[in-house]
Amino acid sequence: MPFPDFLFPDVVPVERISMGEDTFIIVGLGNPGDLYAGTRHNAGFMVVDELARRWDCTPGPEKWDASSVRISIFGKKVCLVKPITYMNMSGKAVVRFVDFYKTPLPCLLVIHDDLDMKPGRIKLIAGGGAGGHKGIRSLIEHLGGREFVRLKIGIGKPGQGSAHADMPVEKYVLAPFSREEQDLLAGRMNVLVQGIELFLQDNAGRAMNLLNGLK
């Protein structure tokens, strides 16, 4: 599939992306190991784990610095990926999959946490900068572009909810979701999965309307 004939100066409307027969790669960002399980920075891992559960597959064993599985669904070839490089070096793993499958960046969907959106807020975009997210920064550096699609999961920031304003951001993102936040994310998982499935079925515009319309 050729790249769309437009540039990505900031954020590109997802509905303008056309899909072909390429292998889609869905990446959940996070940190490996039990120490980080259930933490805010692992929101991407949590969504990929739920996709694997619903699609009856299991990522693993570790290959190319990631746990992954490749399946066929909705007539598409899809590879689920969870990098084990730790968040700040996520791009090191992802670029291996993109290069091997020759996946155009618009067919790469990256799921990650976002400090600038309140807990439970969801946003699907294409392009855009890293916005301080070190995992996204690593992807842009290793991929040499930012034309990939991003599904951002709001986690809020210190000073919101029960998190004290003086809590360092580094400590906040590596802390477990509160019970209220867990319930909020769990309550939106059906819509998250539905949006991702619409994206895979060439309905990127509908996926964006569904996910970005949640408040």
Whether 90 is in a domain gets the answer yes
Residue 16 above 60 pLDDT? no
Q: What is the mean predicted confidence (pLDDT) over 186-211?
A: 94
Whether 29 is in a domain gets the answer yes
Instruction: Quickly state the pLDDT bin for 21 (edges 50, 70, 90).
Output: low
Whether 168 is in a domain gets the answer yes
Q: Is 164 designated active site?
A: no
| CA distances in angstroms from 125 to 103, 131, 146, 150, listed in the order given | 18, 13, 11, 5
From CA 36, how far away is CA 140, in angstroms rounded? 24
Residue pLDDT, tens place only, 100-150: 999 999 999 999 999 999 998 999 999 988 888 999 999 999 999 999 999
Instruction: Quickly state the pLDDT bin for 203 (edges 50, 70, 90).
Output: confident
Whether 5 is in a domain gets the answer no
Which CATH number do you get for residue 157? Answer: 3.40.50.1470
**What's the whole-number average pLDDT of the chain?**
89
Whether 191 is in a domain gets the answer yes
Q: Which of 41, 112, 133, 142 is catalytic?
A: 41
Number of domains observed in the structure of the chain: 1
**Which domain covers residue 22, as residue numbers?**
11-212
> pTM for this one?
0.89
Whether 4 is in a domain gets the answer no
Number of continuous H segments (helices) and E segments (strands) in the chain: 7, 8
